[in-house]
């Protein structure tokens, strides 16, 4: 049985309001990916994670705990858990991913940094000021909480004089590019996904030549990239230029089939069932799949188990251009 919907939404909203993220991460964990990259702090152009990739292993731990709790006597005490969580960050005790799991997700922003550099883009990072965008809370209808949080993110951009933000995942992209202009006054930050930046510059800019990975992959489009932000051609162009043969599954491009991730925080069983349906479509087209969203990656790979192999698009691109 799922946990009470209102209480779960309440906990996520309280966390965003009090701790700047639906699932607060220690600063050391959130910024671990920046180590050794020598990224300047701030600047007019910054690469921005919105914590999405860093959050996934923690969300996974939390969802597993939720499923266990939903089937136990503890479900009745979710309301009490919410009250305690206002004082003590309870969620941090429920999810403790290993260093290895965290490193797997940190690798994506690291890949993006190498790819952007190879393409001749100059940019900085915001380190501990790289805040969560509020994506999940917005989807859940917590508009007032998100409006206040968006002001914090905007204040960070103003503090560092940021004019252009290069995002990595689709959810942060749509929040910063399509939602913030509707809810913030005077917000004039240019927001572009790194896939758009690389496609425009040519991933092989600055004389970089694709190593030709020889891979053959099934491409799973993210709903948010494809239908909210119109990012459909860019990943295909980049993969083709990298020598990766792309196969489209049934339901692709703007007609892509959702991975189920958006309902995982409330109804993990429904999310898993939807992911299993999508995996069946992907598997009919091949055994290796490329994703471009951390939620798609984790939901689909969990549903597929050992029957398919999933990799983030940044891995193929880095292998071809910046390894």
Partner 1 sequence: MTALVNPGLAAELDRADEFNADACMNCGVCSAICPMGVDVAVRKLFRYVLLGMEEQVRAQTEAVFSCLLCKMCEENCPAGVHIAENVRTLRHHIVRTTFGLGEG
CA 238 to chain centre: 19
Q: How far is the CB of 309 from partner 1 (least distance, A)?
A: 23
Q: State residue 165 phi and psi, 5-degree precision.
A: -115, 130
Give the chain's length.
323
| Closer residue to partner 1 (CB): 142 or 189 | 142
Shortest CB 298 distance to partner 1, Å: 15
Shortest separation between residue 231's beta carbon and partner 1, angstroms: 14
Q: What is the SS3 assignment for 244?
A: coil
Return the number of the residue (104 or 152) whose C-beta is nearest partner 1: 152
| Shortest separation between residue 303's beta carbon and partner 1, angstroms | 13
Tell me how far apart the alpha carbons of residues 266 and 2 are, in angstroms, rounded to a whole number: 7
Residue number, 92 or 277, with CB nearest to partner 1: 277
Nearer to partner 1, 193 or 274 (CB): 274
Nearer to partner 1, 143 or 200 (CB): 143
The residues of the shown chain that bind partner 1, judged by CB under 8 A, are 5-6, 9-10, 13, 17, 138-145, 147-148, 182, 223, 227-228, 254-258, 260, 262-263, 266-267, 270, 274, 277-278
CB burial readout 109-126, b (16+ within 10 A) else e? bbbbbbbbbbbebebbbb
Residue 52 contacts residue 172 (beta carbons within 8 Å): yes
* C-beta separation of 249 from 220 below 8 A: yes
Q: Shortest Cβ distance from residue 90 to partner 1 (Å)?
A: 17
Nearest to 9 by CA among 198, 202, 163, 140: 140
CB of 81 to partner 1, least distance (A): 15
Q: Is the CB of 138 or the CB of 321 nearer to partner 1?
A: 138
- The three-class DSSP label of residue 16 is helix
The whole-angstrom separation of Cα 120 and Cα 207 is: 10
Residue 34 vs 291, nearer CB to partner 1: 291
Handedness of CA 309, 232, 273, 78 (dihedral sign): positive
- Nearer to partner 1 among residue 41 and residue 254 (C-beta): 254
Question: Cα–chain-centroid distance for residue 150?
Answer: 17
Closest separation in Å from C-beta 280 to partner 1: 12
CB of 70 within 8 A of CB of 1? yes
Question: Measured from the CB of residue 42, what is the shortest distance to partner 1 in angstroms?
Answer: 27
- The sign of the CA dihedral 229, 232, 237, 239 is positive
């Amino acid at each position: 049985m799922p946990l009470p919907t209102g209480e779960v939404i309440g906990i996520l909203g309280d966390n965003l309001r009090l701790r700047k993220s639906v699932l607060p991460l220690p600063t050391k964990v959130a910024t671990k990916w920046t180590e050794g990259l020598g990224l300047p702090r701030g600047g007019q152009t910054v690469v921005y994670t919105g914590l999405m990739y860093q959050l996934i292993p923690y969300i996974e731990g939390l969802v597993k705990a939720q499923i266990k709790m939903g089937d136990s006597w503890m479900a009745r005490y979710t309301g009490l858990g919410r009250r305690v969580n206002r004082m003590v960050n309870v969620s941090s005790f429920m999810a403790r991913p290993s260093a290895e799991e965290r490193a797997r997700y940190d690798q994506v922003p690291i890949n993006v940094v190498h790819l952007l550099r190879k393409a001749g883009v100059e940019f900085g990072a915001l380190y501990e000021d790289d805040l969560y965008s509020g994506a999940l809370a917005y989807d859940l209808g917590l508009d007032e909480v998100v409006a206040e949080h968006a002001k914090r993110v905007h204040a960070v951009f103003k503090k560092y004089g940021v004019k252009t933000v290069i995002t990595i995942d689709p959810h942060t992209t749509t929040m910063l590019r399509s939602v913030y202009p509707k809810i913030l006054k005077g917000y004039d930050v240019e927001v572009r996904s790194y896939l758009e930046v690389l496609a425009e510059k040519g991933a092989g800019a600055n004389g970089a030549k694709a190593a030709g990975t020889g891979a053959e992959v099934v491409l799973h489009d993210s709903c948010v990239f494809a239908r909210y932000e119109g990012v459909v051609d860019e990943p295909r162009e980049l993969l083709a230029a990298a020598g990766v043969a792309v196969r489209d599954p049934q339901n692709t491009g703007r007609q892509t089939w959702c991975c189920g991730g958006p309902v995982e925080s409330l109804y993990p069983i429904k999310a898993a069932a939807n992911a299993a349906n999508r995996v069946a479509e992907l598997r009919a087209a091949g055994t290796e799949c490329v994703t471009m969203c951390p939620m798609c990656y984790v939901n689909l790979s969990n549903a597929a188990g050992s029957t398919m192999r999933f990799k983030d698009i940044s891995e193929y691109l880095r292998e071809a251009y910046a390894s």
